[in-house]
Amino acid sequence: MYEDIEEILFNEEEISRAADEIAFRINRDYEGKHPVIIGVLKGSFIFLADLVRRLDIDFTVDFIKASSYGDKTRSSGNVDITYHISADIRNRDVIVVEDILDTGYTLSYITEYLRGFSPHSIRICTLFDKPGRRVVPIKPDYTGFVTDDLFIVGYGLDYNEKYRGMPCVGVPKTQSKK
Ligand code: IMP
Ligand code: MG
């Protein structure tokens, strides 16, 4: 099913350990608090599910979806919110959970949008970070892996909707043809 993966970069065990470490820090940083955890659809859904099952604090889960009109592997500055949060985040501590931070267009737009609702705080948690591709200056507060400028798939991340269910993360052959 995933025979067209060129190389596996992160296996299930490594991803699980990264989720453990991020959850440990969030449990410590938000002890006694009740953050609103906002997953950025669709890519974050698997990481979010694994992350919240490691939390021992109270939290509310919500979702947001944004589309940016770039090509298949790179987003652009034209970001639109296509699915809105339903929680009232005024004066709340918000943690935005994303699969991967790339150019930064999507997350900077989302965090600005969320700031408009006057939350008490906003932090960014991303499983993967590609700082070498950054166009908008934005830094995550919690990161699992810093990766090279490769397009990666699996564990929620897709290429044309494929590979989201792959338990590990790798580089599809599609990319090497470019
Ligand atoms: P940004 O706006 O460029 O930071 O892009 C963020 C979004 O682009 C992510 O939420 C992903 O959906 C998608 N994206 C960026 N890099 C990758 C990748 O390597 N694999 C899969 N999706 C990616
Ligand atoms: Mg995404």
- The band of 2, judged by pLDDT with boundaries at 50, 70 and 90, is confident
Residues sharing a CB contact under 8 Å with residue 70, sequence separation 6 or more, in sequence order = 76
What's the rounded Cα separation, in Å, for the pair 86 and 73? Answer: 29
Residues sharing a CB contact under 8 Å with residue 178, sequence separation 6 or more, in sequence order = none
Average pLDDT, the chain: 94
pLDDT attached to residue 3: 81
Whole-Å CA distances, 3 to 8, 49, 171, 176: 11, 26, 11, 14
The answer, yes or no, to whether residue 174 has pLDDT greater than 70, is: no
pLDDT attached to residue 71: 66
The protein residue whose alpha carbon is closest to atom 12 in ligand 1 is: 43
In the residue annotation, 102 being an active-site residue is answered as yes
Q: How far is the CA of 102 from the centre of ligand 2 (A)?
A: 9
Contact assessment for residue 92 and residue 103, using Cβ atoms and an 8 Å cutoff: no
The active-site residue out of 29, 102, 148, 158 is 102
The answer, yes or no, to whether residue 177 has pLDDT greater than 60, is: no
CATH topology of domain 12-152: Rossmann fold (3.40.50)
What's the rounded Cα separation, in Å, for the pair 19 and 14? Answer: 9
Quote the longest CA-to-CA distance of the chain: 50
Beta-carbon-side half-sphere exposure of residue 127 (alpha carbons within 13 Å): 29
Q: Any idea where the domains of the chain sit in the sequence?
A: 12-152
For residue range 132-146, what is the model confidence (pLDDT) as tens digits? 999 999 999 999 999
Mean pLDDT to the nearest integer, 108-118: 97
Ligand 1 pocket test: pick from 40, 100, 129, 164 the residue with the most ligand atoms within 8 Å of its Cβ: 100
The protein residue whose alpha carbon is closest to atom 3 in ligand 1 is: 103
Residues sharing a CB contact under 8 Å with residue 3, sequence separation 6 or more, in sequence order = none
Mean pLDDT to the nearest integer, 76-95: 93
pLDDT attached to residue 46: 98
Q: How far is the CA of 43 from the centre of ligand 1 (A)?
A: 8
pLDDT attached to residue 1: 76
* C-alpha 81: how far from chain center: 16
Q: Which atom of ligand 1 is nearest to the CA of 75?
A: 3
Residue 28 structure tokens: 């410590």
Query: 99 CB less than 6 Å from ligand 1?
Result: yes
- Beta strands (DSSP E) in 69-151 are 79-83, 93-101, 121-129, 142-146
Contact assessment for residue 75 and residue 105, using Cβ atoms and an 8 Å cutoff: yes
Query: 129 CB less than 6 Å from ligand 1?
Result: no
For residue range 19-60, what is the model confidence (pLDDT) as tens digits? 999 999 999 999 999 999 999 999 999 999 999 999 999 999
Q: Which atom of ligand 1 is nearest to the CA of 130?
A: 16
